[in-house]
Amino acid sequence: MAGKRTRYSADFKAKVALEALRGELTAAQLAAKHGIHQTMVGEWKRQAMEGLTAVFSGKSAAQESAKATEADVEKLHAKIGQLLVERDFLAKASG
């Protein structure tokens, strides 16, 4: 029977990925140093690289996301208002 999977914290993953990005040690050396598998080092390094682009483009992406969310909220508020008016009208009409 296999053991439980180990869940690593985000801080630990970031630490290992940063060491991998520095390139001072190989993936095998980092894996041995931290007691993890080599593929995890590579995967965390790849995720860190992808995340870096989001960090530097984060402001514009966050603003676009906020505008889209704001527009959705406005549409939903309009729909709620319309439904309230219809409900009130039908309640008065039915007596």
User: What pLDDT, in 10s, does the model give residues 38-54?
Assistant: 999 999 999 999 888 77
The end-to-end CA distance of the chain, in Å, is 69
- CA pseudo-torsion sign 54, 60, 66, 71: negative
Over residues 19-43, mean pLDDT = 94
The answer on pLDDT for 55 being more than 80 is no
pLDDT at position 63, please?
Answer: 76
Q: Count of CB atoms within 10 A of residue 45's CB? A: 20
Average pLDDT, the chain: 89
Which residue type, as a one-letter code, is found at position 10?
Answer: A
pLDDT at 4: 87
Whether residue 59 is predicted with pLDDT greater than 90 in this model: the reply is no
